[in-house]
A = this chain, B = another copy of it.
Amino acid sequence: MRFHSPAIQYFHAVRRTGSIRAAARVLNVASSAVSRQILKLEQEVGSPLFERNARGLTLTTVGEMLARHVMNVLQDLDRFRSDVASLSGAWHGTVSIACIESLTESVLPDLIAAHRGRARRVSFTTEIKGSSDVLEALSRGEADIGIAMALRHPPDLRQVALKRFRLGAIVAREHPLARRKTVTLAQCLAFPVINALPELSIYHLLQPLIAQLPETPEPAIQANSIDLMRELAARGVGVAFQTQLGIGRLSRDSQLMFLPLDNAGSPVWSDLGIYVRAERTLPAYTESFLQELVRELGERERRENMAYPQVT
């Protein structure tokens, strides 16, 4: 089912690999063929699509415009294929997800496992990244669904849903703070603290609040792995910060306590956004998973807000 001119596919491969010869290897054709198609494209558009650097190709402005068009075409082709397939009952395809780390503990594996139980022939590709990398991967067409901190998102992405979760302190069961219902940031900083590095978005949530405090002691530990921070907190090394989403299993085992943060009487929110490329209609199997994801996150949001009502 390859009814689009080879130039389209070749251009797409060259953009992704950043090199004509590399693209040719991926496509299993001679590099000369790829080179010629690119040149032909540039002639028809009437403007160069790539800047030829010594070590590969970079998109020009016009090239980026064409890349956007080609991405729309190829992604819509995928959707068409899945539409035709689902007509004959065969539901198969690959859902590609880019996601931040806080969902790896329970949300994502639970959902994927459940979905695979129902639709065995739908496979998944997941990639864990930082929030801004998630959005970037989505923009570049390397993922279908993106889950990230709800920052300002580029206009070519669409925010499907926005769920807010309370940020809280994570401490071991034996920790002195563990018997409190809520904690303030100042109370936490009296103890050794496990801080996130700037590449994690928790850093950007907490930093403004910490900066307001009169004194800011050195954190005991800084890390860029949520998993590591969680495990450290469970061993009583210090106080970590997370939403409850990220500590599912250890919380169920009662090894970890989640204490909602109280910032001058109001909660500290961590906004989670679900994103999709705006100029695109998703294949049926992807759309189906997307809706389950939104429903599940909504459910967790609801449950949390019942467990820790907003009025502290």
Contact = CB atoms under 8 A, between A and B. Distances in A.
Contacts of A79: 69
A180 interface: no
A279 B83 contact: no
Interface residues of A, number: 31
A2 interface: yes
Interface stretch (A40-48, A117-125, A126-134, A261-269): A40-48
A307 interface: no
Most buried by B among A5, A41, A61, A66: A5
Given A5-B3, A5-B5, A72-B76, A65 B44 contact: no
A197 interface: no
A64 to B, nearest CB: 10
B44 A76 contact: no
How many copies of the chain does the oligomer comprise? 2
Interface in A27-76: 40-41, 44-47, 61-62, 65-66, 68-69, 72-73, 76
Contacts of A3: 5, 7-8, 40-41, 44-45
A288 to B, nearest CB: 16
A84 interface: yes
Nearest to A278: B281
A77 interface: yes
A1 interface: yes
Contacts of A77: 69
A289 interface: no
Interface of A: 1-5, 7-8, 40-41, 44-47, 61-62, 65-66, 68-69, 72-73, 76-77, 79-80, 83-84, 87, 278-279, 281
